[in-house]
Amino acid sequence: MAKVLGPPPVRLCKALGCRKPVHENDRCLLHRQIEREEYAAREAERAATVALAEGDKTIRHCTVRSCDRPSHARGLCLAHYERFRRHQSLTTPIRGWGQPTTSP
């Protein structure tokens, strides 16, 4: 530990327009807190992206756009696969999902 002779020079926060003294890592207490929160948010986002990328390897999803259900067969989810079998439109939104439809 080096002894500091005299008062240490006051460093100011590196954040734009901030003149508060440095608390940690060239940031004042407030901006350090913001930096931490931004870092945590970035980390959470990164973790979610990684989880999503890893999930894609194991769980395949329905190939229909805007559908995020897991793939059941032929790259389609159960609802879309049923539609495919019945030659129904795959692009119209799924309604009454979970309710069995009786075909004539």
Q: 2 — alpha (psi -120 to 50), left (phi > 0) or beta?
A: beta
SS3 61: strand
User: Taking CB under 5 A as the rule, does residue 81 contact Zn ion?
Assistant: no
Site pattern 3..22 for Zn ion (x: CB under 5 A): ----------x-x--x-x--
User: Nearest-CA neighbor of 77 among 65, 87, 34?
Assistant: 65
Q: CB 49 → Zn ion: shortest distance, Å?
A: 22
Q: Phi then psi for 88, rounded to 5 degrees?
A: -95, 165
User: Taking CB under 5 A as the rule, does residue 62 contact Zn ion?
Assistant: yes
4 vs 59, beta carbon nearer Zn ion:
59
User: Taking CB under 5 A as the rule, does residue 83 contact Zn ion?
Assistant: no
Among the listed residues 23, 26, 61, 67, the single contact to Zn ion using CB under 5 A? 67
State the first-to-last Cα distance of the chain, in angstroms, to the nearest integer.
86
Q: CB 63 → Zn ion: shortest distance, Å?
A: 8
